[in-house]
Amino acid sequence: MTELLTMEGINKSFSGVKVLENVQFSLCQGEVHALMGENGAGKSTLMKILSGIYSKDAGSVRIHGTESLASSPRTAQALGVAIIHQELNMIPDLSIQENMFLGREFKWGRTGFVNWPKMRSEAKSYLQQLGMDLNSDSLVGGLSVGQQQMVEIAKALSMHAKILVLDEPTAALTKREIEKLFQLIATLKTQGVGMIYISHRMEEIFQISDRITVLRDGRYIGTRDTNVTTMDELVQMMVGREIKERFPKVDAKIGEERLRVEGLAQEGKLCDINFSVRAGEILGIAGLMGAGRSELAKALFGVGKYQGKIFVNGKPVKITSPAEGIKAGLALITEDRKGEGLVTDLSVRENLALPNLRSLSRFGFISHRSEREFVDESIKKLNVKVHHSGQGVSSLSGGNQQKVVIGKWLATQPNVLILDEPTRGVDIGAKREIYDLMNQLVQKGVAIIMISSELPEVLGMSDRVLVMKDESLENSHAKTRLRKRL
């Protein structure tokens, strides 16, 4: 088989932090090469270098044997590289053909008028090539996520892509759509397209990939042929041998029940959720993206109307707004730090104080002395690396931003702390600090609900694990059993 792509000795640093170190990767014609690794392992950085979004510090990228000088997504496209992102980049109010040929519409000669018959027939031919029975006039917004993804792939083919990067393509798909996608991947293989497949789902990777490369902490760990490796070997490669050490779980004394949920439901989002969590316990909630985990967290915190019962410390509560959630002793650290966790225009100090202003002010006036004391103490306790507390929060690294988000909630002295993807986009060192903090909290009798897509983290840190699937809790697993399942 001919080699389509060779990446060698790739280095990349962001503001002094090495995120890729001497990484290699290769792809042959008609091959599916899976790229694995935990969040933060460097997968997406590597792919961004391939597609020209980032420039590499050192190393070489050769496409068809010639050095790629791709400096922007556009030039990378010209070299035949296309990425199908996790979040689809389509304009919902435009038709399939308009999306497919956006910015490169067929025209009548040089008139500037769109040649609709040609657009339609071209779109149709690419859709057919992928075995898709869709009307190219229909609006993209009316398609299912799976269909939108197919359109995106058809678009890539229409640009003569030879290297296709699929970033978590199945995350938001139904079972049937996944089967369809896999058929499509098989078709593309016969057409000689090379595909880089990024996914956390082991079963899928074993089903469709030819080779698997594992990255860890920005380093190249190894490449295996899929038919000779095992899941155990891959997990070991991904998380390293020191899984115990990376997750310094301390078993705290399990006490009274802090939170109980009975028959919680939210239309179209959640369905009959039942669980409880006790003081000193870390309850892990695993499951795929889109299974309703974040919705569950938000419903508990008073976002949106819900049916069902919530008990805090044994007493029934009705939580209809975040303010009432706080009053009931809950705190939510959301998954989307920039969108929901921080006010990025404000300083570290102002962000830390935001949910605590009531206790820091008197007659509506903020006591600057108490605020300063509180903020300095939080910064010290959480080891946030800042020059001064008036610094803009957007200038901090991901890990330090996350510590600010956690810090702003700790002072509300919650009984139940809900952490949604607490270590996403956080470097290893800060991760460890966040885990230590969780340990300290449970020892003080706080109950923690930790939602995470990183299975090793869920396994390493939780006392019990629940799995969410299609809006409901599938099963409660003892940790040991789940570990075997993996």
Partner 1 sequence: MGKVMDKSGILQRMGPLVGLILIVFILSIINSDFMTVGNIFNVLRQVSINALIAYGMTFVILTGGIDLSVGSIIALSSAFAAGMMATGGNSWLAIGVAVLSGTLMGTINGVVIARGKVAPFIATLATMTIFRGLTLVYTEGKPITGLPDSFGMIGRGYLFQIPMPVIWMLVAFGVLYVILKFTSFGRHVFALGGNEEATRLSGINTNRVKILVYSMSGLMASLSGIILTSRLNSAQPTAGASYELDAIAAVVLGGTSLTGGKGWIVGTLIGAMIIGILDNGLNLLNVSSFYQQVVKGGVILLAVLLDRSKGK
Q: Which residues bind partner 1 (CB under 8 A)?
A: 301, 303, 321-323, 325-326, 332, 334, 339-347, 350, 353-355, 357-358, 360-361, 364-366, 368, 390-392, 408, 412
Give the shortest CB-338-to-partner 1 separation in angstroms: 8
Cβ closer to partner 1: 262 or 324?
324
Cβ closer to partner 1: 253 or 368?
368
Give the shortest CB-348-to-partner 1 separation in angstroms: 9
What is d(CA 354, CA 357) in angstroms, rounded to the nearest whole number? 6
Give the shortest CB-366-to-partner 1 separation in angstroms: 6
> Helices 145-158 and 175-190, interaxial angle, to 10°?
10
Cβ closer to partner 1: 109 or 339?
339
Give the shortest CB-265-to-partner 1 separation in angstroms: 21
Q: Are 49 and 12 in contact (CB under 8 A)?
A: yes
Classify residue 438 as left (phi > 0), alpha (psi -120 to 50) or beta: alpha
Six token digits for residue 48: 């961004």
Backbone phi and psi for residue 338, each to the nearest 5 degrees, phi listed first: -75, -35
Cβ closer to partner 1: 240 or 392?
392
Cβ closer to partner 1: 368 or 481?
368
Cβ closer to partner 1: 136 or 294?
294
- Count of alpha carbons within 13 Å of 346, Cβ hemisphere only? 13
C-alpha pair distances (Å), 106 with each of 2, 63, 92, 113, 363: 33, 28, 20, 9, 66
C-alpha pair distances (Å), 70 with each of 356, 383, 465: 48, 40, 44
In the block, residue with structure tokens 């202003």: 357
Question: What DSSP line would sit under 196-247, residue for residue?
Answer: EEE-S-HHHHHHH-SEEEEEETTEEEEEEETTT--HHHHHHHHH-S-HHHHS
Give the shortest CB-17-to-partner 1 separation in angstroms: 23
Q: Are 38 and 454 in contact (CB under 8 A)?
A: yes
Give the shortest CB-418-to-partner 1 separation in angstroms: 11
Cβ closer to partner 1: 41 or 410?
410
Give the shortest CB-29-to-partner 1 separation in angstroms: 45
